[in-house]
A and B are shown apart, each in its own frame.
Chain A
Amino acid sequence: MATTALFFLFAGLAIASAISMVYHKNPLYSAISLVGVFIALSCIYVTLAAPFIAAVQILIYAGAIMVLVVFVIMLLNLDDDKPLNRLRYLYAVGGGLGLILLVQTFFIFYAVMRAPKQTVKVDETVGKTLSIGTAMYTEYLLPVEIVGILLLMALVGGVILARRLDAPKLELIVNNELERRHEDELKDEFRVRL
């Protein structure tokens, strides 16, 4: 009973935060609403007896990814989102697609409700860190390796994308100007260029 009550509390919180994320024009408000969704989902994972996934959800999503997003919002100093001025038909497309997906959701809900009752196989070891680690490094070793390579590729890609093509060549400037400028002036110049 307590699980059900907690589930509906956090489900409501998740849906409300998600709607608030789409509704807000300011990217920072959207980001903070999204953190709310992540925390609510993490609590739902706890009610599903998956404490490891709940902890990882907070660590990776709310801790790492959202900090990165908020950092980019602050770095770019973004204004509010302007209203759509062209491509107005997108409202119709979005509304239609949303309606179709909602109908599908309720269809699935009723189909699963009508299906013969599944007996919950209670297995308390599932969801503990031990069982996940064992499965990860025995049966699913190949996917883990592939994910490792994917993360390496993302790392290289991030560095390539963030690189500036017209980066000032500091070393050459320092060498040329050492010959003809006073050292104090040089230091000021260097600081400004940095």
Chain B
Amino acid sequence: MEPSLATYLALSGILFTIGTVGVIFKRNALGMFMCIELMLNAVNLTFVAFSRYYADVTGQLFVFMVMSVAAAEAAVGLGIIIAFFRNSLSIDTDDASIMKN
């Protein structure tokens, strides 16, 4: 006996909610970045669950695509964070306001 599809979707939804709330509450850019990774993982879980329950390999393939996008995002995002830190000596998103005024 296996847990039903609904259980997997509920776990995925809870993880996605935690990630969303984290993106809004976190102040530093790295924390936001990690919360976005958590949201991507929650979506991956739905892909794999549907792939299992419909016996279709496409879901697992798209998990692979999402992981590649996450790797690209990590490379560019961390580059931006380091460039920002070099300019303002902080990665606090509240300090990223030089475009203001």
Query: Which residues of A are at the interface with B, using a C-beta cutoff of 8 A?
Result: 1, 3-4, 7-8, 11, 14-15, 18-19, 21-22, 27, 30-31, 34, 37-38, 41, 44-45, 47-50, 52-53, 56-57, 60-61, 64-65, 68-69, 72-73, 75-76, 78, 81-82, 84-87, 90-91, 93-95, 97-98, 101-102, 104-106, 108-110, 112-113, 118, 120-123, 126-127, 131-132, 135-136, 140, 143, 147, 150-151, 153-155, 157-158, 160-162
Contacting residues, chain B, for A108 (C-beta < 8 A):
6, 9-10, 13
Tell me if B17 and A53 are in contact (CB < 8 A). no
- In the bound complex, CA of A61 to CA of B38 (Å): 10
Query: Which residues of B are at the interface with A, using a C-beta cutoff of 8 A?
Result: 1-11, 13-22, 24-28, 30-31, 33-35, 37-38, 41, 44-45, 48-49, 51-58, 60-61, 63-65, 67-76, 78-83, 85, 91-92, 94
Tell me if A48 and B74 are in contact (CB < 8 A). no
Tell me if A3 and B64 are in contact (CB < 8 A). no
User: Which one of B45, B71, B82 contacts A41 once the chains associate, using CB atoms below 8 Å?
Assistant: B45
Tell me if B7 and A7 are in contact (CB < 8 A). yes
User: Which one of A1, A123, A154 contacts B76 once the chains associate, using CB atoms below 8 Å?
Assistant: A154
Tell me if A150 and B13 are in contact (CB < 8 A). no
Contacting residues, chain B, for A31 (C-beta < 8 A):
34
- Measured CB to CB, the closest approach of chain A to B60, in angstroms, equals 5
* A/B interface sample: 6 pairs, CB < 8 A: A15-B15, A38-B41, A109-B6, A132-B61, A143-B61, A150-B69
Contacting residues, chain A, for B58 (C-beta < 8 A):
135, 140
Residue of B with least CB distance to A60: B67
Tell me if B67 and A34 are in contact (CB < 8 A). no
Tell me if A112 and B6 are in contact (CB < 8 A). yes
Tell me if A105 and B10 are in contact (CB < 8 A). yes
